[in-house]
Structure 1
Amino acid sequence: MAKLLYSATMSLDGFIAGPDGDMTWMTKLPETGPHEVADGLWQQIGSLLTGARTYHGNDPNAGTDQEGAFSGLWSGPEFVLTHNPPAQATPGSTFVTDLSTAVQAAKEAAGDKYVCVLGADVAAQCLEAGLLDEILVFVAPVLLGDGTPLFRQAGGTFVALDEISSTAGPTPTIWLSVRR
C-alpha cells in the first residue's frame, strides 16, 4: 500500500515558501545540474495530497513548460484538502473536506507508489494524526528570513525520525521516516 511522503525544498533557515506564500525564490536558485534524488522522484509518485493554499498558490514555473508538480514532469490524480471545495469540478483534482477521506482516496489512487504531500499545513495534520510515513527535504542554499516553515506544531510537539538516506552537494537532501 502507498506511503505518505512529505517532500519539500526548504531554505537553510527552514522556510518552504517566502512571505505570503511566495514561491518565486525557487526560480532564483543556481542551476546545480543532475540531482540523484530529485531527478527520479516524480516517477515514484502515484498521487498528490495537496493543501488548498498550495493548490491555489503561486507556481514559480507558471506559464512555462515546467509548470505543475515536479517541474511539469508529473501528472496524475490530485486530492486537495479544503474547507471550501469549488462548485465546479477541476479535471484531475478531487476536492475533499476531511483528512481521513483525503488520505484514503490518495492512497488508493497511488497504488504501490507514494502519496506526495504538498503543503506544510496538510503535512502537519498528517503528522499529528499519525498518518505521515516519510519526510524528504531538499535544502536550498538560500536564506529567506520569513515565510512558511517546513513544520509548525503548536506547543512544540516532539517527533522522532530515523534517517533513510542523505546526500551532500549544492542541494543536500535528508530522507527520514517517522518513528512509530
Structure 2
Amino acid sequence: MAKLLYSATASLDGFIAGPGGDMSWLKDHLTGPNPTAERLLANVGAILAGNRTFGGDDPNRGTDKEGAFGGQYHGPAFVLTHRPPADPPAGVVFVDDLHRAVAAAREAAGDRYVNVLGADVARQCLAAGLLDEVLIFFAPVLLGDGVRIFDQPGGTTIGLEPIPGETDHWYRVRY
C-alpha cells in the first residue's frame, strides 16, 4: 500500500512559503541536480495537494518548469477542497473529504508514494494519523515570515525517527 509522504523545501527558519504564499524565493534555491529529490520523484505515484497549494504561487509559473517537481511530475493528482472549479483541469481530481482523497490517492499510487503537498493538508493527515513520512529539504535562506512547515498552535508533540539509510531530514512519523 502507498505511504503518505509530506515533502517540502523550507527556509532555515521553517517556512515553506513567504507572506501571502509567495514561492518566488525558491527560484534561487532549486538549481542543479538533487539526487534525493530525483529519487523521490521516481517513487511518487500520486500527489495529494490542498486547494491553496494547487492554485497558489509557483516559482516557475509560465515556464516549462511549472508544476510539481519543477514540472517533472506527470501523474495522478488529487486536490482536497470544498470549492472545486467548475471546469477542472485534465488529470486532476477534486475531493471534498480527507479520507476519500487519501484512499483515492493511495489507490492511484499503488506501491509508490503519495506525495502530500501543502502544509494544511499535511497537518490534517498528521492529525488523522494518516501521514507516514516527512522529508524536508532546507534552503540557505531566512524568510522571517510566511507559511510554516507545520503550524498547529496548541497541538501535541509528534515524534519523528530518522529512516536508516536515507538522507538527513527524511523521517518516519511515530504516533
TM-score normalised according to structure 1 size: 0.92
2:22 matched to which residue of 1?
A: 22
Equivalenced residues, count: 174
> How do 1:1-180 and structure 2 match up within 5 A?
1-29=1-29, 31=31, 33-164=32-163, 167=167, 173-180=168-175
Give the match's secondary structure for 2:35: coil
Q: Deviations over 1:31-89 (max 9, x none)?
A: 4x332211221111000000000000011101112111111111111110011112223
Give the CA deviation at 1:115. Answer: 0.2
User: In 2, distance between residues paired with 1:58 and 1:45?
Assistant: 22
- Going from structure 1 to structure 2, the CA distance change for 1:150 and 1:162 (only over 3 Å counts) comes to same
User: In 2, distance between residues paired with 1:62 and 1:79?
Assistant: 20
Give the match's secondary structure for 1:37: helix
Give the CA deviation at 1:156. Answer: 3.0
User: In 2, distance between residues paired with 1:30 and 1:118?
Assistant: 16
Give the CA deviation at 1:28. Answer: 2.1
TM-score normalised according to structure 2 size: 0.95
Gaps of 5+ in 1: 168-172
Gaps of 5+ in 2: none
Give the match's secondary structure for 2:134: strand
Which structure 1 residue ranges, 4+ long, deviate > 6 Å from structure 2? none
User: In 1, distance between residues paired with 2:78 and 2:124?
Assistant: 15
Q: Deviations over 1:133-153 (max 9, x none)?
A: 000000110000000000011
User: In 1, distance between residues paired with 2:99 and 2:38?
Assistant: 30
Residue identity in the other structure for 1:179 = R
Give the CA deviation at 1:154. Answer: 2.7
Question: Percent sequence identity over matched residues?
Answer: 61
